[in-house]
Copies of this chain bind each other. A is one copy, B any other.
Amino acid sequence: MLPPEVKSVLEELRAERIRGASWMARRGAEAYLILADLLEGDELRKALIELRHELPRINPTMASLYNLSRFIPVTDNPLLVKSRAEEFLRLIDEAKKTIGNIGSELIEDGDTVITHSFSSAVFEILRTAKAKGANFKVILTESAPDYEGIALASALEREGIRFEVITDAQLGLFARNATIALVGADNVTRDGAVVNKAGTYLLALACHDNGVPFYVATESFKLHPELKSDEVEILERPYARQGYRVRNFLFDITPWKYIRGIITELGILVPPREI
């Protein structure tokens, strides 16, 4: 049985609507720290087995939760759980910084970066590029119905980065004004498809049609070692407008062929030549 303190973190993760896969992974690792403080021996082992099952189920498309649940060993020893969870948190931080450095090299003076939804990896790239002195602007979507884009606008404002907010439906209209597209990912499948906020695939198509390079920024812990794109189950959340039910699948799937590169802390992954 999971202790109530850990269960409440799982509930929090299930209810989360704005933050992305990196935040979820971090909060998940914190659940392991809490667990290691509360249980030991056989109770701990049973709880770890349960968590390995429960954590990925919170969002089956999120590779980060899957990878986290396998990064922590099933053991009787709380110290081992604690040190692995802390290592995971450290790797998240380091990965984010490295992605910021690698990705920022793609942004040049005069660039117009187009993005969709709020990716903390993309934000780190923009922040780093700005700190390195690049003069660029960002086009971003409001990202209905949860409006993560407005949170990104506010974060960019604090960094002094110029931006323009658009409605989601204008992605095609504004893609042709962009010089580079940068989005995050909740999951990269084994066959190289990017699972990210619904609308990402539309942006990729519009970029392809307008010759704008389309990059994805993501920590390597979001690469799913097993899942293929046709096996992705997309989470849906309830949403209604004026009394009508509105379908609200959170993600869509962008195939490898529309992606110029996936920026990770290990370097930029590019599609194999045969694709």
How far apart are the CA atoms of A242 and B147 in the complex, in Å? Answer: 10
List of B residues within 8 angstroms of A247 by Cβ: 164-167, 170, 174
Q: A205-B206, A205-B209 are in contact. Are A169 and B241 (CB under 8 A)?
A: no
Cβ of B165 and Cβ of A168 under 8 Å apart?
Answer: no
Q: A147-B241, A242-B147 are in contact. Are A167 and B198 (CB under 8 A)?
A: yes
Q: A202-B206, A205-B209 are in contact. Are A244 and B153 (CB under 8 A)?
A: yes
How far apart are the CA atoms of A198 and B244 in the complex, in Å? Answer: 22
Chain B residue at smallest Cβ distance from A239: B167
List of B residues within 8 angstroms of A209 by Cβ: 205
Q: A142-B241, A144-B144, A244-B150 are in contact. Are A205 and B167 (CB under 8 A)?
A: no
**A229-275 at interface with B (beta carbon < 8 Å):** 234, 239, 241-242, 244-249, 252-253
How far apart are the CA atoms of A166 and B145 in the complex, in Å? Answer: 11
Beta-carbon contacts of A194-210 to B below 8 Å, as 1s and 0s? 00011101100110010
How far apart are the CA atoms of A143 and B170 in the complex, in Å? Answer: 11
Instruction: Give me the 9 closest cross-chain CB pairs, A-B, nearest first.
Output: A169-B199, A172-B201, A205-B205, A168-B169, A173-B252, A202-B202, A172-B202, A166-B247, A165-B246
Count residues on chain A whose CB falls below 8 Å from chain B CBs. Answer: 41
Q: How far is the CB of A23 from chain B (nearest CB, A)?
A: 20
List of B residues within 8 angstroms of A147 by Cβ: 241-242
Q: Can you list 17 pairs linking A and B with CB atoms under 8 Å apart?
A: A143-B169, A144-B169, A165-B245, A167-B198, A167-B247, A167-B248, A169-B169, A170-B198, A170-B247, A172-B198, A173-B198, A173-B252, A202-B205, A202-B206, A205-B205, A205-B206, A205-B209
Chain B residue at smallest Cβ distance from A169: B199
Please classify the interface of chain A as helix (H, G, I), strand (E, B), loop, or mixed, using the class held by over half of its residues: mixed
Cβ of A167 and Cβ of B168 under 8 Å apart?
Answer: yes
How far apart are the CA atoms of A30 and B197 in the complex, in Å? Answer: 46
Q: How far is the CB of A118 from chain B (nearest CB, A)?
A: 13
List of B residues within 8 angstroms of A138 by Cβ: none
Known contacts A167-B168, A173-B234, A173-B252; can you find 10 more A-B pairs with CB under 8 A? A143-B169, A147-B241, A165-B241, A165-B247, A169-B197, A172-B199, A172-B201, A173-B198, A173-B249, A201-B206
